[in-house]
Structure 1
Amino acid sequence: MRALVKAKPEPGLWLEDVPDPTPGTGEVLIEVLQTGICGTDLHIVAWDEWAQAHIPTPLVVGHEFVGRIVALGAGVDDLTVGDLVGGEGHLVCGRCRNCMAGRRHLCARTEGVGVTRAGAFADYLTLPATNVWKHRPDIDLDVATIFDPFGNAVHTALTFPVLGEDVLITGAGPIGIMAAAVVRHAGARYVVITDVNDYRLELASKVGVTVAANTGRTTLARVHQDLGMKEGFDIGLEMSGNSQALPAMVEAMAHGGRIAVLGLPSGDISIDWSRVVLHMLTIKGIYGRQMFETWYAMSVLVQEGLDITPVITHRFRAEEYEQAFRTVREGLCGKVILDWT
């Protein structure tokens, strides 16, 4: 089968012919239809410090996908050949304290599809049946393709109640934009998203944000004034990893404000901890999705009319992967999809 392989411990990615996988006991074999490109994949291609420390080679990469089940391993009796499916890319141990307590997203011994085991940038993928999410047959294939990053957005956006609240989102990448759509759908009053990328701010405007602000040309104080807000933001969603974003967010929060942090910084960040204490702020780190409460929430949101399609901007054939990755690196895009059919 075709697969995008991190074949060597150096920058690059290679389209190779590799053996078809076989589903083991409790696994399914999935024919991949479409995949999405993630920031993690860019790190792997670049072979940066993080990738060198975490990625074994050779490895088939990729973890955002939609496909159809084509074979069942022994012991799988609740899925059917032909089912349209996605999958949770975090494989948990099942036996640690958090797993046994039902908090599988907090497993400390997690393996990752396309990170520590064979991934989805291929014609076929095997996955434990317990990690498979069965989609409604009428779901938009593009939307189903990006359920993994959509889950990051939903998990972050709904960590704290947002009904009637004023929400600040720093980082208008695809996940930040989807998070904006979620909090607007969930009843937030003002939804402000910030970035320095005008292309992505324009995408954010298409999902109904109140203000899409370029912080290179305006300030949060000015946005605050223009909206007539009497206090700071109630909820903050830090999605960028930018070293200036979290400190600015802390300054912009109301007393008792709550911040969910998904953006992964590349270095140390200094924030005003006295303000955190005196303003009684809550800061919570977010990683991945809740298994499988977030997946259920995603399906309900889409079924009830939440439209995340504006975030999908480019599509390429799998063989055009180099152009697709170049498009993502250039930043003038939302989600980029590879077609494997």
Structure 2
Amino acid sequence: NEYRLHLAKKLGADIVLNPKKNKIVETIMQNTNGKGVDVVLEMSGNQSAIIEGLKVLRPGGRYSILGIPDKPLKIDLAEIVFRYFTIQGINGRLMFSTWYKTTRFLASGRIDLEPIITHKFRLEEFQKGMELMESGNCGKILLYP
């Protein structure tokens, strides 16, 4: 949505794309000189987004699919094999390793996540936070005691 596109730009994204207004695959390929991207993180579960992610991934690229589609998805496995993609979902074994790496990275002070938190609510106001989250007009919402 427009709120989150604006937030991404404000937080430093070089390019923000609205799939309702922009040709995603074409724009990404133009901005990568036809090479595609190294990594795709797909978190929506939207079937079109998953397929577009495969189209913009460079040969040998890595794809993490974390969103869950609402129905089975047909994917051309030959594309994955011949372009030697690595595709993964959530992996519990790696999750703990990633957690420790992320904790160290955040503790280093090299990144400030505070700007991503756009709203704070007391725990008793969780319903207000849920409504805001469902509207999409927020970044991350923090609930506190």
* TM-score, normalization by structure 1: 0.39
TM-aligned CA deviation for residue 312 of structure 1: 0.7
Identical aligned residues as a percent? 35
Three-state SS of the structure 2 residue aligned to 1:290 is helix
Q: What is the distance in 1 between the residues matched to 2:69 and 2:63?
A: 15
For structure 1, the 5+ residue unaligned runs are 1-196
TM-aligned CA deviation for residue 284 of structure 1: 0.9
Alignment partner of 1:315 out of 120, 123, 130? 120
Q: What is the distance in 2 between the residues matched to 1:284 and 1:335?
A: 25
The answer to whether 1:232 aligns with 2:36 is yes
8 Å CA contact 1:312, 1:336 repeated in 2: yes
Counting only pairs closer than 5 Å after superposition, residues 120-139 of structure 1 correspond to structure 2 as none
Per-residue Cα deviation, 1:10-29 (whole angstroms, up to 9, x for no partner) = xxxxxxxxxxxxxxxxxxxx
C-alpha RMSD of the superposition: 1.9
8 Å CA contact 1:201, 1:214 repeated in 2: yes
Alignment partner of 1:247 out of 43, 51, 56? 51
Per-residue Cα deviation, 1:142-198 (whole angstroms, up to 9, x for no partner) = xxxxxxxxxxxxxxxxxxxxxxxxxxxxxxxxxxxxxxxxxxxxxxxxxxxxxxx12
Counting only pairs closer than 5 Å after superposition, residues 5-84 of structure 1 correspond to structure 2 as none
Match in the other structure for 2:135: 330
Runs of 4 or more, structure 1, over 6 Å off, are none
Alignment partner of 1:257 out of 61, 76, 82? 61
Higher relative contact order (CA 8 A, sep 6+): 2
TM-aligned CA deviation for residue 338 of structure 1: 1.7
The answer to whether 1:282 aligns with 2:92 is no
Higher helix share goes to which structure?
A: 2
For structure 2, the 5+ residue unaligned runs are none
Three-state SS of the structure 1 residue aligned to 2:17 is strand
Q: What is the distance in 1 between the residues matched to 2:69 and 2:32?
A: 32
The answer to whether 1:212 aligns with 2:16 is yes
Q: What is the distance in 2 between the residues matched to 1:320 and 1:228?
A: 44
8 Å CA contact 1:207, 1:308 repeated in 2: no
How many residues are matched?
142
TM-aligned CA deviation for residue 282 of structure 1: 1.7
TM-aligned CA deviation for residue 240 of structure 1: 1.3
8 Å CA contact 2:120, 2:144 repeated in 1: yes
Q: What is the distance in 1 between the residues matched to 2:59 and 2:79?
A: 9
Counterpart residue type for residue 78 of structure 2: S
Change (3 A) 1:251 1:295: closer
TM-aligned CA deviation for residue 313 of structure 1: 0.9
Larger Rg: 1
Q: What is the distance in 2 between the residues matched to 1:259 and 1:223?
A: 15
Q: What is the distance in 1 between the residues matched to 2:102 and 2:38?
A: 23
8 Å CA contact 1:262, 1:287 repeated in 2: no
Counterpart residue type for residue 273 of structure 1: L
TM-aligned CA deviation for residue 327 of structure 1: 0.8
TM-aligned CA deviation for residue 302 of structure 1: 1.8
